[in-house]
Amino acid sequence: MKNLTLQRVAAIDVSRALTMFLMLFVNDIPGLKNIPYWLRHAEVHEDMLGFSDIIFPAFLFCMGMSVPLAIQNRYSKGDDSLQVISHIFWRTVALVTMGLFAMNSGGVENGISHQYFTLLMTIGFFLIWAIYPKTKGFKNALFIAMKLIGIALLAFLVIYKDIYGKPFHQGWWGILGLIGWTYAVCAVICLFTRNNLQRIGLVWISVLALVLISHSGAIPKDYGMRIILLPFIPSDWTLHAFGLSGVLTTLIMQKYADHVQPKKFIVILCTIGLIMLAAAMISHNYWIVSKIQATPTWLFYCLAILFPIFGILYWLTDSKGKASWFNIIKPAGTATLTCYLIPPIWYSVQQILKWQYADVLKTGEIGLIRSIVFSFIIILITSLLIKIKIRLKV
């Protein structure tokens, strides 16, 4: 595609917005009664790909698509490699920090409840990582003070939890933490490969191999050769594979996509999707489909869906110019982190006030409609926050 590198790709924004909208939806349906079972997450040992099990991989895929463009954009603005590395480092720190706080929001005995902990930590997130206008004098000092207050608030929560509850710890990384580590892996790989399609393709294949090896048990956990799995890298290679698949998609798009004649690009993505489907069917003989276990079969089935879907969205938005069809959910794609952090505020306030939905809103089709409406309302609130210049960026 000509001059795509620094252009805004509508399909990526739309993919991110759709994924965020669906994440809001699937996070709101737990607890609903009499809804189709296939909408839910599969249980840990259940061999099933629920609709909810596809959304987090889609989020990582979208994140991966944005990484090469973001790095290219920073270099185009004059940043040197050290500045780009610094940005990657601090963005990773921010996401991992948010993930750890979300994971530690419970377990304070006779003190701050999970709900109040969530509210306070979210306030801290907004104070620290909000986009403040560039200014001087008193206003600049005020904004710095607000960031320091946010840091002090998070520090207080850590100390308070250590004293009065289960110590602040890393049981797992939390959703944002997992996103953060996958972002770091993808960004570092993009830097070292210089966003070269052939190199990224080789790394992608290597990561798929690491997924298979790590889940095969071919190398015992106490065996020295397990070092080839790079165990010092946090998170799971299956999740990193989703992110790198997004990176690969963007680089293929930059080389082969064309607004007027998108057929070649779409055929490539559909072909990769068919290869992933074949891999899924083969791997299903050895592993179940399980998001919780992050099995290779889950990875391949999800990629068999995600590659072709992005090709279709590219054709619809960038080629046919129908991106406006998705304007209603656009804020979810441009202020994704802000959108993600609003629901925990609502759930906490709802629980503190002991306000419950009527039974009719928690059952069947009406319950699903309520969750859909809730998702749209969250996006509307995000849009309003953007208009008054309140949003997060890491």
Whether residue 146 lies inside any domain: the answer is no
Report helix, strand or coil for 363: strand
Q: Mean pLDDT over all residues of the chain?
A: 93
Return the C-alpha torsion angle 97, 19, 383, 74, nearest 10. 60
The tokens describing 48, both together, are 């099933």
Whether residue 97 lies inside any domain: the answer is yes
Domain count, the chain: 1
Q: Contact at 8 Å (CB) between 50 and 39?
A: yes
Left, alpha or beta for 35 (phi > 0: left; psi -120 to 50: alpha)?
Answer: beta
Q: What is the Cα–Cα distance from 258 to 330, expressed in whole angstroms?
A: 23
Whether residue 248 lies inside any domain: the answer is yes
Mind listing the pLDDT tens digit for each residue in 203-231? 999 999 999 999 997 887 776 667 888 88
Whether residue 26 lies inside any domain: the answer is yes
Residue ranges making up the domain that contains 285: 10-104+169-387
Whether residue 157 lies inside any domain: the answer is no
Q: Is the pLDDT of residue 75 over 90?
A: yes
| Residue 160 burial by Cβ neighbours in a 10 Å radius (0-12, 13-18, 19+) | middle
- Within the chain, residue ranges assigned H as helices are 10-28, 52-76, 81-103, 114-129, 137-164, 174-193, 197-216, 237-256, 263-283, 296-314, 330-334, 336-352, 364-387
Longest dimension (CA), the chain: 66
Give the per-residue pLDDT at 7. 66
Q: What is the Cα 276 distance to its own chain's centre? A: 21
The tokens describing 156, both together, are 């207080």
The predicted model gives 197-201 an average pLDDT of: 97
Mind listing the pLDDT tens digit for each residue in 4-55? 445 689 999 999 999 999 999 999 999 899 999 999 999 999 999 999 999 9
| Residue whose tokens read 């165990």 | 231
The tokens describing 116, both together, are 């109040």
Give the per-residue pLDDT at 246. 98
> Structure pTM?
0.94
Mind listing the pLDDT tens digit for each residue in 273-311? 999 999 999 999 999 999 999 999 999 999 999 999 999
